Structure 1
């Protein structure tokens, strides 16, 4: 009985009743069409007229469902009432392709057709079955013209079986509704499920979201991470000479203040990546680039000798910003692994259509400590270069006994906008 009258069966029955209600406007249009060539005929008196109107209504239903908003409405109703298994997902959003629209039209037509049949059976059969069920107990029901029963039903043995016949009718109605609901639930993932184009669009959206998250992670790591590394080292050095060199401590505190103040501005710029439209463009415009390199080298905490070749003015804005972040992350690694005393050699050169960045620093005296979740800096540098169509290398350079970070970034990337 659960299959016929359980919660899922009741929800599916309600779904069919909704389909029947949605069918009514189309059915009335069909009756108007039938009445146009059968004037003077009571359209509700002959079942053939109603069946003809029903047949005229279904093409109109299918045409209506070809419009894009029909799918999200159908999907929402099916998810709420059909009891579709979770491992058979339905599509999200309007139907954009003809394949999706045709599938939606098939579903909508099936839903309203079955809903019209079950709704009609429910409205007609339910009162009749109830009347037959109570037939032995109320003489007024037996004499009622509403049931239009033959006189032969007055026999006692027939009246005794009437309640069972009425219950059988109700059970048969529930069985028809359950079968129709199960058919809709079975066909919903096929007709309302994602098409190959939908799956491709969903994959592209996930890839775009992942790219945004990765970009935000790189910006936070390179800007805030660099500042925190510098502040930590400056604070540690100041603590060690707190009593012996107050002047150095004063300079370190000033550097910490400037670093944190500047980083707050960069953090606002990074968080602007989460916005869109004009705010996003404003955020990109305020991101630091190679024209701010001198300030970075002055406050990075390590002595840096920098050589620039070529005309930096020819570097596109997007490439200049990524180059700044690459240098910033390279200096953060020097601070983290070598400390304040490391001598860094930085070379930036424009060669034709490429920007070359090379950074050398002494090898650390002991292997770097592996931090949980660490190692994202070099990976972020590589990702920045790949997005521009370039490449990076990082590792010990045995000939010069240094650690070398190098990057080659194309100045002109197909499809790249100079943001």
Structure 2
């Protein structure tokens, strides 16, 4: 019994009924237009006139429901008053251009149901409350009589207060029924259609792809900065007394690289917080000389071979190529065995070729045994990035003591 009374005690029940009553009241301005045909056809029977008014009134309410603005308002109101988890309507750019007939009439149907329940629930609860609270003898134990549309009920003796309480409970039960029907029908009629669900899934897929791209960007930027800064700090400590100029240069390089990494971090965190982030870092192949200089300050010997017009490579591809080279150089510096690091970038009309070659073995500046760790996300992340760009990826030993990373990306240079 207590479980059955719980809906009577929920605030969402009465906020839902309030929502229904608001819909009923909002339909009143359309009633005069529905009365016009009945006024013009006075010779028709009364029942026909009433039916005609109700049908025209429902039709006008349904027409209002065809507007996109109406649906947005209904979804927001249903979320707040009915406590129904409804997603926002699909943006116009993502929504299907021509929704099917069934999808087009879902919102008008729900609006007609909403208004009908509002009027039926409002009239019923009003009558029940009036009968329960306004019975002449409802609280005194004397005779009580209720008359409605020619129907009369007489309650005598001590049963009058029982009838009054019963009317009030019935009014509350009607409120529960109205709110329950609206709450049940809202996801089915106001929720996204099958086409809109596909559009929402596509939006979520794009969002996940963007988050994944940001994760790669952050991994590349922060990983390179920490590796370079660690080696540069070690170099600065060793030459601090013997060569203060070189030590200061290493410290400046640490400052520049960490500042660039902080810009990347601020941008990524701004996007993840769904706030309007600042200008996105746009490091492209034109920034490659600066990257190579930072590696030289870390004590690495870099032998670049750059050919073609790198500044003419399109922005998205140029940024991806920079990150690929950054990751390759970082891993060569971290896991290589010292010696020169060969960097080759060749831009041609039909493709962009990237390669990083370094020594492997034990000992040396890199204090490692290969160009990439045996675990982690460096090599996997690079392969995935290249795959998304429809390129070719190759990484592995190149001879007995060399490791080679080679990437070819399809590219179109402006004419």
Post-superposition offset of 1:159: 5.3
Farther-moved stretch of structure 1 (16-25 vs 107-116): 16-25
Question: Can you list the C-alpha shifts for 1:223-269, whole angstroms capped at 9, x where unaligned?
Answer: 343233212101113324545xx21x531331331342365357547
Post-superposition offset of 1:351: 5.1
Residue 238 of structure 1 aligns to a residue whose secondary structure is: helix
Where does residue 186 of structure 1 map in the other structure?
184
Where does residue 285 of structure 2 map in the other structure?
290
Distance in 1 (alpha carbons) for counterparts of 2:208 and 2:176: 43
Unaligned 5+ residue runs, structure 1?
none
Distance in 2 (alpha carbons) for counterparts of 1:368 and 1:133: 96
Residue 202 of structure 2 is aligned to residue 207 of structure 1: no
Q: How does 1:254-273 map to 2 (within 5 A)?
A: 254-261=249-256, 264-265=259-260, 267-268=262-263
Where does residue 336 of structure 1 map in the other structure?
334
Distance in 1 (alpha carbons) for counterparts of 2:403 and 2:152: 107
Distance in 2 (alpha carbons) for counterparts of 1:101 and 1:294: 58
8 Å CA contact 2:360–2:371 kept in 1: the answer is no
Where does residue 72 of structure 1 map in the other structure?
72
Post-superposition offset of 1:391: 2.6
Where does residue 232 of structure 1 map in the other structure?
230
- Going from structure 1 to structure 2, the CA distance change for 1:150 and 1:352 (only over 3 Å counts) comes to closer
- Going from structure 1 to structure 2, the CA distance change for 1:292 and 1:56 (only over 3 Å counts) comes to closer
8 Å CA contact 2:8–2:173 kept in 1: the answer is no
Residue 16 of structure 2 is aligned to residue 12 of structure 1: yes
Post-superposition offset of 1:281: 11
Post-superposition offset of 1:132: 2.7
Question: Can you list the C-alpha shifts for 1:339-382, whole angstroms capped at 9, x where unaligned?
Answer: 6x3321222234551111121111242557999xx833334433
8 Å CA contact 1:69–1:94 kept in 2: the answer is no
Q: Structure 2-normalised TM-score? A: 0.78
Distance in 2 (alpha carbons) for counterparts of 1:162 and 1:141: 6
Question: Can you list the C-alpha shifts for 1:70-128, whole angstroms capped at 9, x where unaligned?
Answer: 223222332333354xxxx4231268553544211211111111111111222334213
Residue 82 of structure 2 is aligned to residue 92 of structure 1: no
Post-superposition offset of 1:405: 0.7
8 Å CA contact 2:232–2:254 kept in 1: the answer is no
Structure 1 vs Structure 2 CA RMSD:
3.9
Q: Structure 1-normalised TM-score? A: 0.77
Residue 69 of structure 1 aligns to a residue whose secondary structure is: helix
Where does residue 345 of structure 1 map in the other structure?
342
Post-superposition offset of 1:3: 5.2
8 Å CA contact 1:395–1:405 kept in 2: the answer is yes
Distance in 2 (alpha carbons) for counterparts of 1:15 and 1:178: 13
- Going from structure 1 to structure 2, the CA distance change for 1:127 and 1:316 (only over 3 Å counts) comes to closer
Count of residues in Structure 1 that have an aligned counterpart in Structure 2: 389
Residue 129 of structure 1 aligns to a residue whose secondary structure is: helix
Distance in 2 (alpha carbons) for counterparts of 1:136 and 1:229: 85
More helix by share: 1
Distance in 1 (alpha carbons) for counterparts of 2:203 and 2:247: 46
Residue 66 of structure 2 aligns to a residue whose secondary structure is: coil
